[in-house]
Amino acid sequence: GTRPEPVPHPQADLPYTRGDTFVLYTDGLIERPGEDIDVGLQRLTDALAHHAHHEPERLADALLADLGVSSSARDDVALVVIRL
């Protein structure tokens, strides 16, 4: 058979410095049924701005609380917070 063509993946180059924080998450953190994803992204952005001074573990806890994520969430949620 023929091999499928590779799917191009978007890439971005961003400069970073010591002390920057990376927040990686799955869609379950920000998506809500019947709500535009931009609303969820803004909610995350606001929470990040409000809690930016926290260390990574506490920042992750604060984000989960502010975004209303609980152990009974409708969607799987993965969140990784890394401080360089």
Q: What are the domain boundaries of the chain?
A: 21-26+33-83
SS3 per-residue string spanning 15-66: CCCCCCEEEEECHHHCCCCCCCHHHHHHHHHHHHHHHCCCCHHHHHHHHHHH
Question: Whole-prediction pTM value?
Answer: 0.75
Confidence class for position 19, pLDDT limits 50, 70, 90: very high
Stronger pLDDT, 3 or 50, i.e. the higher one: 50
For the chain, how far is it from start to end, CA to CA, in angstroms?
46
